[in-house]
Amino acid sequence: MVLHEVGNLKRWYVTAAIAPALSVVYYLRSLMVTYGRLPEQVPVHFGLRGEPNGWMSRKLWPVVSVVILLAIQAMVFVSRPGMWVPALIQWGVCGMIAGSFSEVNYSAAEQRRFSFRPMPLGALAVIGLGVVLAVVLAGWWLG
């Protein structure tokens, strides 16, 4: 790999990481807004009707959720310029998880049923943002 290609690869990683990083920021904001209102046992798994069937300690939830989101964020490094499928999958998964984790925070804090709507909406938002950024910044990451 020539030096010019290495520079392009680094720029691709930066470009591909922006949208998922913003979804992590969105999740962290939801956690900060709701943490004081979360019950001692946070519902973290739900049945098809949105009823909780699995719980986790409020103290452990932020650690586990952030580690999972950061691990998914790190998946961006398996994508390469021109390999859109891994990038699109990673963007979608990161958006879906950030959306669902944020909904866990809000539904638990408000003591209401979990809604599955944030999962596909989060995925679509991050995929859309990722594609737009990749196209807008293509001149930069292609060199």
Compute CA 35 distance to the chain's CA centroid, rounded to the nearest angstrom.
19
pTM over 0.95: no
Each residue's pLDDT tens digit, 62-78: 999 999 998 888 877 76
Q: Quick one: which of 103, 121, 100 has its CA closest to 112?
A: 103
Query: What SS3 class is residue 74?
Result: helix
- Tell me the pLDDT tens digit for each residue of 93-138: 899 999 999 999 999 999 998 999 999 999 999 999 999 998 898 8
